[in-house]
Amino acid sequence: MPAKSAAQQKAAGAALAAKRGDTPKSKLKGASKSMMESMSEKQLEEFAHTKRKGKPEHVSKH
C-alpha cells in the first residue's frame, strides 16, 4: 500500500531507518515512532519507497 502523503512517506522512511538500526529509536517522534512499533519492515519499505511527486504534504482526515 503506497503512502498517501509526503509526510506519511517521510515518517515511514524514518521508522524504517530505526527498525534497521541506522538511526537510534530514541530519535523518533509521533507517527514515525508508532509506525516503527506497529508495522513490519516490508510494510515500511512499501510506504517509504512511494514516489512523492504529485502527493500532498498532508492529507486531511475527512
- Please, which pLDDT band fits residue 47 given cuts at 50, 70 and 90? confident
- Domain containing 13: what range? 6-49
Number of domains the chain is built from: 1
Q: Are 9 and 50 in contact (CB under 8 A)?
A: yes
What's the mean per-residue pLDDT of the chain? 88
The answer as to whether 28 is a domain residue is yes
Residues whose CB is less than 8 angstroms from the CB of residue 6 and which lie 6 or more positions away in sequence, other chains included: 52, 55, 56, 57, 58
The answer as to whether 55 is a domain residue is no
The answer as to whether 31 is a domain residue is yes
The answer as to whether 39 is a domain residue is yes
CB atoms inside a 10 Å sphere around CB 58: 11
The answer as to whether 58 is a domain residue is no
- The sign of the CA dihedral 35, 39, 45, 49 is negative
Rounded to two decimals, the pTM is 0.81
The answer as to whether 13 is a domain residue is yes
